[in-house]
Amino acid sequence: MTSVSFSNKIIQFGFGTKVEKKNFLKDHSDKDVFMDLSCYDPAEFYNEYPNLKGCFAALFCDEEKKIEIHFKERNLEVLSKLNELGFKPFEVTIISCGFIFPRTIVQIINEAHYALEENVASKKDIDRAMKYGVNYPKGPFEWSMGRETYVKVLLDELYQKTNDKRYLASKLIK
């Protein structure tokens, strides 16, 4: 996990287990922390760690580096720092496990894996259909490349939180 420190604030980027994220917050209890919680439920962290002042979802951002961000307490200095780092944050007011975009994209990726599992089409054909059929910038397999762990963790978190079978990961997602 990477972090940027400034003015008694820390912006923590990258993936980590829930335990690693919580340990980071414990270890930095004297600072205001803004943390990437793409794969987890921010409410769970806000309730337990008063030093968590905001969270964002950057693990699934594209080349344009658009990220969702939620503030417990709005902070223009953090928005400015994220812009300085090349991100394009947009604020969301309602938070849930996986934010909006990551939660949506992992379901699309999971459905694509189910289609592959059922021999509906090849990876290449599924990617092409999503790019040219619905004008997505990438196909689901292209989008998940290098992000397989995040996809699996978020699907597992969503299933644990909701007990909804639509979040059960395809056996092809490792």
* Residue 30 lies inside a defined structural domain of this protein: yes
pLDDT (tens digit, 9 = 90+) per residue, 28-68? 999 999 999 999 999 999 999 999 999 999 999 888 999 99
Number of domains in the chain: 2
Distances (CA, A) of 125 to 31, 99, 116: 48, 28, 10
CA–CA distance, 90 with 66 (Å, rounded to integer) = 7
Query: Both 132 and 85 in a single domain?
Result: no
User: Which residue's entry shows tokens 């992000």?
Assistant: 147
Query: Both 81 and 109 in a single domain?
Result: no
Q: What is the pTM of this model?
A: 0.91
Query: Both 83 and 105 in a single domain?
Result: no
pLDDT (tens digit, 9 = 90+) per residue, 115-143? 999 999 999 999 999 999 999 999 999 99
Domain containing residue 52? 2-91
From 91, 124, 159, give the residue that closes a domain: 91
From 27, 58, 91, give the residue that closes a domain: 91
